[in-house]
């Protein structure tokens, strides 16, 4: 194993300092070293004015360990910390300075606070009550907070960067779900035939990590469309021969592929995943029932179990950012990513396909054959049958296609027509419906998605449609924070220079052509605003009330779990099968209207981008920046700011029309007038003019009074 010596060292570490015992030798623990300082010593140049009034009784400088500390793969990621304290002076105030963190000024300036829990006692995590201070000194970022301890002889207090979700937590959660699932087709002594609506839950070992930890693959669905044939064992995967593969489903039931925790420190993704799994296993909820009926859910809850267990923030035990190797993962160096990519390609093609034969860069919709139509809407093939199908190409010619049954699936197979005008693996004939990889985010507030960029208008709209629908079910999901730009597909990381072209969202799109490939991002702290949710179609079916909040709250595991449920709920609106949709009571009323609104938005953005390019050429490289904002009427308001001759000219317009520009003659005249008036600002001139008019009116009134007195 790569870090056996490092793990053994962790097990033995227990730091004693100034009468206090610091410990981190547990799952996800991270603590480097500790030193005691005098209580009077406080950090200089603090960036936060909020401080704790109580003078601390003890003060400690604490160092966290970088990723892969003590190995040849040690790197500069130092954001995650997680340690416990005990056996000190009871009921004392202790100030803790985490002195060697990566610079995260923006996150802590927005109100980010560490979390704590007390064992035994308050055995759940809470944010610390007082706002921490932070400063940057000698290129070291330090976060400081004060905590008042209780009876330290009986309790251990744990502190962490954010709410932990450990490898052990995952194993316990999966064991509970497995026990909850009574129907395990092909297992147990239950001889009764399962009903169609029963939950199908299957847990299996996808592969082992570099340090022999389990990378789990979970399948959740109903028994609708299930076959008696098991999925095959793919090369280099499914090492446990005692556990059979899960059963296959008929092709009409598409796969929703969900993954999380490729970056160990991004624990919000695990809480979102936990919320999704709990929701899908619900037997009473009508929405969960509909989801299981229409989709097959494949989940990899933890892609980087080694990094999670060792307390890393971003990399695995070899210092590799696993979210940059999806393009060409190694079965031996990146086993979890290799397994995820292999399974995605298998579900996309419906069979095992050699990597080199089918992975091509997806072409744009203009490059595809247009005008294709099938002579029938569906064709059912029985076992062993072969059918001949005619496809009209619109130009008078015909192609004859022979459809043969899948060698691995001998039951009836439904062939659905290709809807995007291309013979090949488009989104309609793919076995995948959507792919979502879940992450945490430090700086950008709220919960949002990254999608891929498309040149074709229809594909752009389809990519944006799903995130837009999520806003109807989650107050915390911010569509305006979503990013669908081409730049976001290829931008390079500042720290290591790796490109996002190797991330799951981009690489899986390139391997499959799937439009609905997303990264779900969750801020560690809070959001910037909230959505007002429309009421559901049937209030009686709503199991939990969802009061509309006014102010964005601090995020908790419950909020992350609710976000996971909201993401799944929006899937049903995409296929028009939501039993209690909010769409019908929204301002859009139908998915057709949502598409049309997004289409207009995309066209408007393209117009602005084109106009900005022209402005850039016209003004010699000075770019005109514009923002699109929505108003209450659902229309778009464009705020346009141009850089002209070293000053800013802000104009507003409605319905996407640019504001009127000043002519060159008027600009020169205005500039000359400004020089003649001594260069004072327009606001200052207005104040001076107003003062002059008031003074002159006073003088006139006094002269008028004098004349009246003389006349008398």
Q: What is the pLDDT of residue 694?
A: 53
Structure tokens belonging to residue 158: 């744990």
Burial class (CB in 10 A: 0-12, 13-18, 19+), 431: buried
Q: What is the pLDDT of residue 429?
A: 84
Q: What is the pLDDT of residue 121?
A: 85
β strands within 67-107, DSSP E: 82-86, 93-101
DSSP state of 424: S
Query: What number of helices (H) and strands (E) belong to the chain?
Result: 15, 28
Decide: helix, strand or coil at residue 216: strand
Given 3-state DSSP classes, what are the helix, strand and coil percentages for the chain, each rounded to the nearest 5?
30, 25, 45
Q: How far apart are CA 383 and CA 362, in angstroms?
A: 32
Inter-residue contact 573 to 591 (CB < 8 Å): yes
Q: What is the pLDDT of residue 153?
A: 84
Of residues 421 and 462, the one with the higher pLDDT is 462
Structure tokens belonging to residue 105: 């000024």
Inter-residue contact 500 to 556 (CB < 8 Å): no
The pLDDT tens digits for 540-584 are 555 555 567 889 999 999 999 999 999 999 999 999 999 999 999
Cα distances from 573 to residues 352, 475, 581, in angstroms, run 31, 17, 7
As annotated, the residues of the chain forming the CATH 3.40.630.10 domain(s) are 167-362+429-529
Cα distances from 59 to residues 56, 62, 133, in angstroms, run 7, 10, 14
Q: How far apart are CA 298 and CA 281, in angstroms?
A: 13
Q: How far apart are CA 371 and CA 696, in angstroms?
A: 78
Q: What is the pLDDT of residue 546?
A: 59
Of residues 664 and 359, the one with the higher pLDDT is 664
- Please give the model's pTM, rounded to 2 decimal places: 0.77
Structure tokens belonging to residue 168: 């052990």
Q: What is the pLDDT of residue 152?
A: 83
Q: What is the pLDDT of residue 450?
A: 98
Q: What is the pLDDT of residue 365?
A: 32
The pLDDT tens digits for 603-641 are 999 898 888 877 777 766 555 444 444 544 444 444 444
The pLDDT tens digits for 343-359 are 999 999 999 988 754 34
Q: What is the pLDDT of residue 377?
A: 35
- H or E element at residue 175: helix 167-180
Of residues 101 and 386, the one with the higher pLDDT is 101
- Residue whose C-alpha is closest to residue 611's, from 649, 584, 591, 638: 638
Mean pLDDT, all residues of the chain: 80
Q: How far apart are CA 612 and CA 642, in angstroms?
A: 9
CATH for 167-362+429-529?
Answer: 3.40.630.10
| β-strand partners of 142 | 135
Average pLDDT, stretch 200-212?
97
pLDDT of 290 > 60? The answer is yes
Percent of the chain with pLDDT over 90: 61
Decide: helix, strand or coil at residue 620: coil
Percent of the chain with pLDDT over 70: 70
Q: How far apart are CA 48 and CA 398, in angstroms?
A: 72
CATH for 4-160?
Answer: 2.60.40.3120
Decide: helix, strand or coil at residue 143: strand
| β-strand partners of 126 | 116
pLDDT of 670 > 80? The answer is no
**Could you say which of 216, 231, 266, 521 is catalytic?**
521
Decide: helix, strand or coil at residue 456: coil
Average pLDDT, stretch 362-374?
34
- Going by pLDDT thresholds of 50, 70 and 90, the confidence category of residue 122 is confident
Q: What is the pLDDT of residue 139?
A: 82
The per-residue b/e assignment along 139-165, b for 16 or more CB within 10 angstroms, e otherwise, is eebbbbbbbebeebeebbbbbbbbbbb
Average pLDDT, stretch 20-45?
82
Q: How far apart are CA 412 and CA 199, in angstroms?
A: 23
The answer to whether 521 is a known catalytic residue is: yes
Of residues 155 and 298, the one with the higher pLDDT is 298
pLDDT of 702 > 90? The answer is no
Of residues 525 and 630, the one with the higher pLDDT is 525
Structure tokens belonging to residue 107: 């996150």
Rounded to the nearest 10°, the torsion over CA 587, 592, 594, 595 is -160
CB atoms closer than 10 angstroms to residue 682: 10
pLDDT of 404 > 50? The answer is no
The per-residue b/e assignment along 385-420, b for 16 or more CB within 10 angstroms, e otherwise, is eeeeeebeeeeeeeeeeeeebeeebeeebebebbeb
The pLDDT tens digits for 297-343 are 999 999 999 999 999 999 999 999 999 999 999 999 999 999 999 99
Of residues 51 and 86, the one with the higher pLDDT is 86
Q: How far apart are CA 251 and CA 351, in angstroms?
A: 11
As annotated, the residues of the chain forming the CATH 2.60.40.3120 domain(s) are 4-160
**Alpha helix (H) residue ranges in 478-590:** 487-490, 504-512, 557-574
Q: What is the pLDDT of residue 395?
A: 34
pLDDT of 401 > 90? The answer is no
pLDDT of 381 > 90? The answer is no
Q: What is the pLDDT of residue 337?
A: 98
- Going by pLDDT thresholds of 50, 70 and 90, the confidence category of residue 493 is confident
The per-residue b/e assignment along 503-521, b for 16 or more CB within 10 angstroms, e otherwise, is bbbbbbbbbbbbbbbbbbb
pLDDT of 274 > 80? The answer is yes
Inter-residue contact 377 to 278 (CB < 8 Å): no
Q: What is the pLDDT of residue 295?
A: 98
Burial class (CB in 10 A: 0-12, 13-18, 19+), 364: exposed
Q: What is the pLDDT of residue 615?
A: 75
Cα 414 to its chain centre, rounded Å, is 34
- Going by pLDDT thresholds of 50, 70 and 90, the confidence category of residue 527 is very high
């Amino acid at each position: 194993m790569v870090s056996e010596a490092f793990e053994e060292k962790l097990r033995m570490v227990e730091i004693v300092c100034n009468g206090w015992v610091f410990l981190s030798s547990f799952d996800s623990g991270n603590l480097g070293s500790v030193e005691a300082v005098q209580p009077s010593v406080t950090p200089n140049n603090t960036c936060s004015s909020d401080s704790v009034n109580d003078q601390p009784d003890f003060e400690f400088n604490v160092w966290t360990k970088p990723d892969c500390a003590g190995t040849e793969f040690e790197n500069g990621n130092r954001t995650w910390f997680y340690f416990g304290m005990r056996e000190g002076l009871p009921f004392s105030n202790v100030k803790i300075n985490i002195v060697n963190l990566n610079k995260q000024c923006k996150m802590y300036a927005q109100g980010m606070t560490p979390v704590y829990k007390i064992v035994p006692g308050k055995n759940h995590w809470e944010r610390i009550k007082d706002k921490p201070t932070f400063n940057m000194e000698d290129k070291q970022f330090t976060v400081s907070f004060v905590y008042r301890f209780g009876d330290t002889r009986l309790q251990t207090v744990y502190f962490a960067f954010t709410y932990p979700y450990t490898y052990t937590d995952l194993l316990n959660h999966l064991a509970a779900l497995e026990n909850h699932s009574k129907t395990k087709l092909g297992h147990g002594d239950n001889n009764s035939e399962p009903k169609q609506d029963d939950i199908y839950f299957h847990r299996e070992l996808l592969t082992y990590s570099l340090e022999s930890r389990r990378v789990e693959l979970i399948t959740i669905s109903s028994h609708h469309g299930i076959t008696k044939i098991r999925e095959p064992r793919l090369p280099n995967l499914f090492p446990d021969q005692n556990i059979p593969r899960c059963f296959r489903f008929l092709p009409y039931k598409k796969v929703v592929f969900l993954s999380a925790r490729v970056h160990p420190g991004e624990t919000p993704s695990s809480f979102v995943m936990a919320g999704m799994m709990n929701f899908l296993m619900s037997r009473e909820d009508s929405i969960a029932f509909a989801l299981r009926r229409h989709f097959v859910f494949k989940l990899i809850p933890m892609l980087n179990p080694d990094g999670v267990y060792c307390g890393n923030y971003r990399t695995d035990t070899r210092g590799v950012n696993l979210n940059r190797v999806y393009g060409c993962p190694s079965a031996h160096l990146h086993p979890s990513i290799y397994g995820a990519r292999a399974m995605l390609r298998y579900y996309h093609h419906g069979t095992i396909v050699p990597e080199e034969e089918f992975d091509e860069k997806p072409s744009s919709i203009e490059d595809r054959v247009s005008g294709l139509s099938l002579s029938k809407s569906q064709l059912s093939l029985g076992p062993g049958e072969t059918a001949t199908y005619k496809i009209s190409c619109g130009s008078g010619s015909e192609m004859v296609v022979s459809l043969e049954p899948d060698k691995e699936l001998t039951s009836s197979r439904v062939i659905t027509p290709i809807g995007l005008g291309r013979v090949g693996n488009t989104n309609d004939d793919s076995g995948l419906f959507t792919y979502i990889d879940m992450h945490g985010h430090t700086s950008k507030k709220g919960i949002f998605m990254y999608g891929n960029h498309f040149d074709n208008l229809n594909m752009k709209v389809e990519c944006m449609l799903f995130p837009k629908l999520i806003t109807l079910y989650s107050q915390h999901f911010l569509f305006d924070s979503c990013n669908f730009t081409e730049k976001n597909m290829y931008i390079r990381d500042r720290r290591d220079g790796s490109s996002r072209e190797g991330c799951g969202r981009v690489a899986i799109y390139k391997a499959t052509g799937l439009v609905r490939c997303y990264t779900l991002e969750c801020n560690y702290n809070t959001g910037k605003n909230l959505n007002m949710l429309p009421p559901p179609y049937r209030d009686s079916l709503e199991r939990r009330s969802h009061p509309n909040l006014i102010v964005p709250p601090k995020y908790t595991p419950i909020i992350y779990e609710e976000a996971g449920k909201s993401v799944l709920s929006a899937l049903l609106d995409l296929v028009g099968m939501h039993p209690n949709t909010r769409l019908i009571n929204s301002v859009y009323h139908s998915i057709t209207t949502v598409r049309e609104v997004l289409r207009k938005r995309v066209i408007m953005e393209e117009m602005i981008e084109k106009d900005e390019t022209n402005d850039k050429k016209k003004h010699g490289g000075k770019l005109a920046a514009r923002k699109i904002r929505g108003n209450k009427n659902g229309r778009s308001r464009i705020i346009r700011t141009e850089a002209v001759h070293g000053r800013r000219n802000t104009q507003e317009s409605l319905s996407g029309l640019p504001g009127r520009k000043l002519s060159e003659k008027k600009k020169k005249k205005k500039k000359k007038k400004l020089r003649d008036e001594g260069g004072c600002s327009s606001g200052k001139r207005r104040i001076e003019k107003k003062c002059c008019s008031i003074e002159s009116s006073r003088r006139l009134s006094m002269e008028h009074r004098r004349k009246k007195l003389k006349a008398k």
